[in-house]
Structure 1
């Protein structure tokens, strides 16, 4: 802007001082010179505008680079590790696995196949199986609970890191990635809750099934006892009197 004012001043002075020359010397055309100066001023203004436009474009590219910068923090591997540990506990369920086929097969064998035609040893063997299943179910539930509680410190650390990374994010992509990792952490915690509820429900169901089977077993044992001949009193010789 200062250069433009200076150029306009020069043009004004030259225009006022331009006097027609009639001698043999070269004639100085002040009006033409002033027009040239004005054209140069306009060209200079265009250059200044272009420089400002390029500066704005450069700043836009810088902002885009910030928005496209990835978050320098990832908790995905930690989340995957804890999920794998919880899943390993569930797959190690004792006696009756978390499988529809396994439940159908083993439940039929140990809980619903009790009949009065079974021997006492067979009834006792099935009772032992049901007892082991119930104890194993409670043990599996306690292990799952311990695993989930053990995840709390790592979850707290991951949450602190994500909050710090989100607050110091330099662009939209980093903020979005931090939000996505928050959602992944919440999903993992929800999986832990489902695992605990499943383990506790399994243990409770096994115990209830054991109690129901015990009633059927008692009925079968009573029928066994009722099938024996009633006691008939008879004469018993206590002392041999020789007669």
Structure 2
């Protein structure tokens, strides 16, 4: 009985001394560690992708801002001023204005109303009016030509500025606005050419009309002359110088 108790005590002591020794060893789970590393790597990759996405969006906003930026250069006021000056010259047309009503009225009075029933003084007055119209038409054409030629230096400067602005534009809107202003400049130049052609044509037409009307006036004057009796020679007595 005593031996059994002693053996039991030894077993108990051994149990108490061995149990703490097993509790001090750390257990390493390799599979769990690897899984945690993979999860962390995926999270870092996701964060990196989000950062790249935000950077791309920021760049897109910058590009959109450039595309929406307006062109700091504008030649519209200069073009409008030049066109106003050309229009003012056309409005100052002498004698016969650029008006259908004015042409019909004054052309009828001075060019198509010539007849043999008019007096010589009336024929002369009409001829003088026609001459003044022709001279005024050529003067108007010369003035307009001078205006068109005077516009060339400013047009050249504006074209240089607009081409440079188009080539150095920060975005699509600036490039489009520069292109639109170049088109406006070309349209104004075409208007100058149209006005010059109109002035030259007006002067030439007035002069041709003057020539035709003068022929009609000459015919009327001849009719006046033909109405008089022909000259009949008469005998003329010459006093005798000896008497």
What is the TM-score with the length of structure 2 in the denominator?
A: 0.83
Q: Which residue of 1 aligns with 2:70?
A: 70
Q: Which residue of 1 aligns with 2:51?
A: 51
Give me the whole-angstrom Cα distance separating, in 2, the residues matched to 1:22 and 1:107: 130
Q: How does 1:86-165 map to 2 (within 5 A)?
A: 86-165=86-165
Count matched residues.
219
Q: Report the more deviating stretch, 221-230 or 59-68.
A: 221-230
Query: Superposition RMSD on alpha carbons, in Å?
Result: 2.2
Q: Which residue of 2 aligns with 1:218?
A: 218
Give me the whole-angstrom Cα distance separating, in 2, the residues matched to 1:174 and 1:111: 56
Give me the whole-angstrom Cα distance separating, in 2, the residues matched to 1:52 and 1:238: 130
- Residue 49 of structure 1: SS of its match in structure 2? helix
Q: Which residue of 2 aligns with 1:181?
A: 181
- Rate the CA distance shift 1:188–1:105 in 2: closer, same or farther, 3 A: same
Q: Which residue of 2 aligns with 1:40?
A: 40
- Residue 112 of structure 1: SS of its match in structure 2? coil
Give me the whole-angstrom Cα distance separating, in 2, the residues matched to 1:61 and 1:166: 22
Q: Report the more deviating stretch, 47-56 or 34-43.
A: 34-43
Q: Report the more deviating stretch, 23-32 or 208-217.
A: 23-32
Q: Which residue of 2 aligns with 1:17?
A: none
Deviation of 1:30 after TM superposition, in Å, equals 5.4
- Residue 226 of structure 2: SS of its match in structure 1? helix
Where does structure 1 lack aligned partners over 5 or more consecutive residues?
1-20
Deviation of 1:224 after TM superposition, in Å, equals 0.9
Give me the whole-angstrom Cα distance separating, in 2, the residues matched to 1:182 and 1:98: 29
Give me the whole-angstrom Cα distance separating, in 1, the residues matched to 2:125 and 2:25: 134
What is the TM-score with the length of structure 1 in the denominator?
A: 0.83
Give me the whole-angstrom Cα distance separating, in 1, the residues matched to 2:204 and 2:188: 24
Q: Deviations over 1:91-113 (max 9, x none)?
A: 11111111122111111110000
Give me the whole-angstrom Cα distance separating, in 2, the residues matched to 1:237 and 1:117: 40
Give me the whole-angstrom Cα distance separating, in 2, the residues matched to 1:104 and 1:227: 33
Q: Report the more deviating stretch, 179-188 or 148-157.
A: 179-188
